Amino acid sequence: MFSRLSGLKHVRSRTKGSVTVFLSLSIMIILSLVLALFSGARIGAVRMKTECVADIAMNSVLAEYSRELFDQYGLMMVDASYGSGVHSLNNVKEHLCHYVQKNFDRSTYGGLANAQTMTAMFCKEADLTGYSVATDNGGAVLKRQILSYMAAEPVGAVLEDVLSNFNGLSGSGIDSMDVEEIARQNQQQIDSIPPPRIIDEEGKEEIVAVGNPADVVNAQRGIGVLNLAMRDRSKLSMKRIDKSLYASGRSLNKGTGLKDSDSSGADELLIDEYFYEKCSRYGKEMDKALLKYQLEYLAFGQDSDYGNLEKSAQCIFLWREASNLMYLLGCPSKVQQAAAIASALSAVALAPELMEPIKYSILLAWSFAESISDLNILFEGGRVPLIKSDSTWKLGIMEMFNFRGHLGQGDCGEGLEYKDYLRIKLLMTPMSEKISRMMDVIEMDVRETNGNSGFMLDYCIDVLRAEIVVGTRFGYEAKIERIYGYEE
């Protein structure tokens, strides 16, 4: 009886031991599963947080765009110098690392309590693997931002007027007619005709002076059209720049060209409209502008305000001179007046062969005088039509000889203003030249603001690509690449 009971206890003891081993093995498997799930969850959390932090950090970097560039020109770009005067992409990289790490740092309470998280993440590395700057690809990045800025502008009617004026100028042949060459050839013809000679009372041969009245006008050509047309030059800006200090005159930093695009003809009209919105010109100077005649600088690229305004005056003068000569040659009454004077002079000089060239010389001088009058009207804010008519012609043939005394007697009452003529010239200027000079203008103006004396557009970032490596205290690493820009 005793032995049977002992055997029973022994069996029961073996049963309890087998259960314990089974439970131990089961628990180990369950714990392994739990730990595997925990590790997977932690890795998933690391990856998810890495993505969130990367997005936050990239947005934070882009949020540090140059405020002065945005306020003055509506452009959003990160100045890699951050106003320090030290232009380096390492500055952007450091800011990116800072924002990544800030999103991993513990809060003040967490630091005091020594609280730990399941991820224990830190920024191991953040590198810029690609970027585009404003000056890349001949200013393609800058053009893209300008077009984005102008997308909401209702400028359709303005652009139609610009094209209409441009077509009117080109279609009439005004821009292709070289009046100066015509005048030179006509003068050569006059000079080639031997002057008439007479025998005086003493029997000596004497040359008869023809006395061409056009010479009174032509003698003033050397003064310069701007000096002739501008009655008061004391208020003109004499500001001069060193072009080598600006984007068009120095070697530029180049990005990797992450996003470049070509512009169409319609786009270029919009860009021209942007220039008119943001830049100053003669008659509409801006306090913020270093060069006061910025639109003239875009069109002509001289290193001084006076030089650009002088080039503008010469350009408009040539157009006006061609237009006025076309009008005169097509106006029988005015041609007859010039012919009458030329006929009288040639008759007195006993040189009928001089009649025709002197007539054209008078008409050319008349056109010159009228064109100076037109310039004066435009510079004083008046209007002058592309093609004159009897009602808009200003100077009579006798007033032509003293044209400077008849300046400032009112405008033509219709036609284009100075800004319209300048806009036509701007449209005719190659876009590559305008964009290059616009970069100069932007740098000039931003450098005039506090803390931006060394501002450079070739270190202004529009799009950047970054590779961020995140480490953890349990050995796992996560790597992520992001491309962010202001139009992404």
Does pLDDT of 232 surpass 80? yes
Query: Hey, what are 248's tokens?
Result: 């068009």
Taking residues 264-270, report their average pLDDT.
79
Whether 130 contacts 259, CB under 8 Å = no
The band of 296, judged by pLDDT with boundaries at 50, 70 and 90, is very high
Residue-wise pLDDT for 9-41, tens only, equals 555 555 556 667 777 778 888 887 777 776 667
- In 3D space, the residue among 461, 9, 33 whose CA is nearest the CA of residue 257 turns out to be 461
Q: What are phi and psi of 483, to 5 degrees?
A: -115, 120
pLDDT at 119: 66
For residue 14, what pLDDT is reported? 53
Question: How far apart are the two ends of the chain, measured CA to CA in Å?
Answer: 91
Residue 31 is predicted with a pLDDT of: 81
Q: What are the tens digits of pLDDT across the range 96-117? A: 999 998 888 876 555 555 555 6
What pLDDT does residue 353 have? Answer: 84
The whole-number average pLDDT for the span 194-221 is: 72
Domain range list for the chain:
2-136+457-485, 153-447
Residues 6+ apart with CB under 8 A from 327: 387, 388, 389, 393
For range 292-315, the mean pLDDT:
96
Percentage of residues in the chain with pLDDT exceeding 90?
A: 48
Q: Which residues have CB under 8 Å from 460's CB, separation 6+?
A: 66, 69, 77, 78, 79, 80, 133, 134
Each residue's pLDDT tens digit, 81-93: 998 888 999 999 9
Least confident stretch, 33-42, 182-191, 301-310: 33-42
User: Phi-psi category of 231—alpha, beta or left, where left has phi over 0 and alpha has psi -120 to 50?
Assistant: alpha
Q: Pick the closest to residue 146 from 252, 275, 265 (CA basis).
A: 275
Tell me the pLDDT band of 201, cut-offs 50, 70 and 90: low
**Which range has the top average pLDDT, 102-106, 175-179, 267-271, 302-306?**
302-306
Query: Is pLDDT above 50 for 222?
Result: yes
Give me the pLDDT at residue 109, please: 54
pLDDT at 152 > cutoff 80: no
For residues 410-434, average pLDDT: 92
> Residue 440: is its pLDDT beyond 90?
yes
**233-262 confidence digits (pLDDT tens):** 888 999 999 999 999 999 999 887 665 556
Query: What pLDDT band is residue 8 in, cutting at 50, 70 and 90?
Result: very low
Of 122-126, 394-398, 416-420, 455-459, least confident by mean pLDDT is: 122-126
Q: What is the pLDDT of residue 262?
A: 60
Q: What is the rounded average pLDDT of the residues 459-474?
A: 89
What span, in angstroms and rounded, lies between the C-alpha atoms of 420 and 427? 11
CB proximity list for 8: less than 8 A, separation 6 or greater: none
| Cβ atoms of residues 187 and 361 within 8 Å | yes
Residues in the chain: 488
Range in 145-154, 234-243, 439-448 with the lowest mean pLDDT: 145-154
| Per-residue pLDDT, 5 | 46
How confident is the model over 199-212, as a mean pLDDT?
63
Q: What pLDDT is stored for residue 325 in this prediction?
A: 95
pLDDT averaged over the chain?
85
pLDDT-wise least confident of 46-50, 279-283, 309-313, 413-417: 46-50
